[in-house]
Amino acid sequence: MNVVLAKTDTGRAVSTSFALARERLPGSGKVAEQRRQAFEAFEGAGLPHRRIEDWKYTDLRALMREVLPLAAAPDAAALSRAEAALKLHTIEGTRRPVLVDGVFAPKLSDLGKGEKGLSVRTLREVLEAGDGPLQGELLASDNSNPMIALNTAMATDGVVIEIANGTVLEQPLHVVHVASVGAPAAMFTRSLLRLGRDVSATLVESFVATEGAKAYQTYDSLIVSLGDNARLDHLRLIEDGLEAFNIASAAVTLGAHAQLNTFGMVSGAGVSRYQPTIVFAGEGARVDTNGVNLIKGRQHADTTMFMDHAVPHCASREVFRAVIDDRAHSVFQGRIVVRPDAQKTDAKMMTRALLLSDEAEADNKPELEIFADDVTCGHGATTGALDESLLFYLRARGLPEKEAQALLIQAFVGEAIESIANDSLREHVIAAAQRWLEARG
């Protein structure tokens, strides 16, 4: 018996969007075939829902309901709005590729002078150039995750950064995603960062919106590989508009003795989800990852992280902080898997949530799966409110209640923010956190 699945209105809308967008998507031949297969995988699964364990707390069928049509390429007015928005988010002393509505904007980008060992190209350029191996790496993904499959199918642009062996970048790379759409629309970006052996680099990603941009969806995917003895400092700042959806993934592979330091902060977007997968492929690698959610209103922020310890003598540390006000909802799911051959693994994870109202919600789900017997692993999770005795102490010395709360919140997230080694980047993050505190009123 043949069973035919009827498409919902949402399913038909997504199929129509993909059909209309195909001529705008870069790449042909094998690239087009990979896109088709990825879209079929997404179409078969649909938007993730709460009956899927990894999406238990972030039901996109209920929260998002539909995938919006692809955003139009930015016109002169959109670029002008994006230029105005960039003034608040520019970090001095960085190389800055800018993507507006999912499309690389050369006039707004500042890549500095050419530097030996550094190559920066656009995704469109690479997919249209016929570089088979690199194209395969860019679009090879796990189609079992429907949102990654959708990104594979619809990725319009992004940046491809390659850093040659032995290169030490003095300036951070700052990739800025700007949403300027006035009507509901979606943007799909995919980027790649490849560090050779003995490379040291810093990558910052910012997601921001122009004035008037609302009800948009951002789908982003980042592929990172670190060669042996390479070091990467990676910052992610989500400051999207409060009606926006930001669904992002990352796939990171670490070589021997590589070091990855990450920091992420969510203070914008109505609904956001970040799902990084980090694979330890070389012995002696280390990951230190810190995250902060600063959310209020009815925001929903989800970080779902997977650490795959596949080889011996590696270490990982996860520190996550969430400050939740009003009826906002923070989710942290941290899963560490230690494979049978990964002896001498040292992995620890701690997540803390600070609830500022009775209706705020935090779901913390740390997990350990250990298949080796000579390891040091642990995890913990706490949830609580502001310390009333400390609040009383500060108010007794003349501070208004909001200022006293702000001081305690800054202290709560300070441990994570202090992990940022670069002074100017740390000050940039502190300024973003301060904007959130001021907006609380």
The pLDDT score that the predictor gives to residue 12 is: 60
The Cα 165–Cα 230 span in angstroms is 9
The pLDDT score that the predictor gives to residue 4 is: 37
The pLDDT score that the predictor gives to residue 11 is: 56
CA distances from 301 to 173, 271, 304, 389, 434 (A): 25, 6, 10, 29, 19
The pLDDT score that the predictor gives to residue 184 is: 92
The pLDDT score that the predictor gives to residue 18 is: 81
CA distances from 399 to 385, 396, 407 (A): 19, 7, 10
Helix axes 146-154, 9-21, angle to 10 degrees: 30
Q: Which residues of the chain have pLDDT under 70?
A: 1-13, 131, 141, 441
The pLDDT score that the predictor gives to residue 21 is: 79
CA distances from 157 to 95, 200, 328 (A): 18, 25, 32
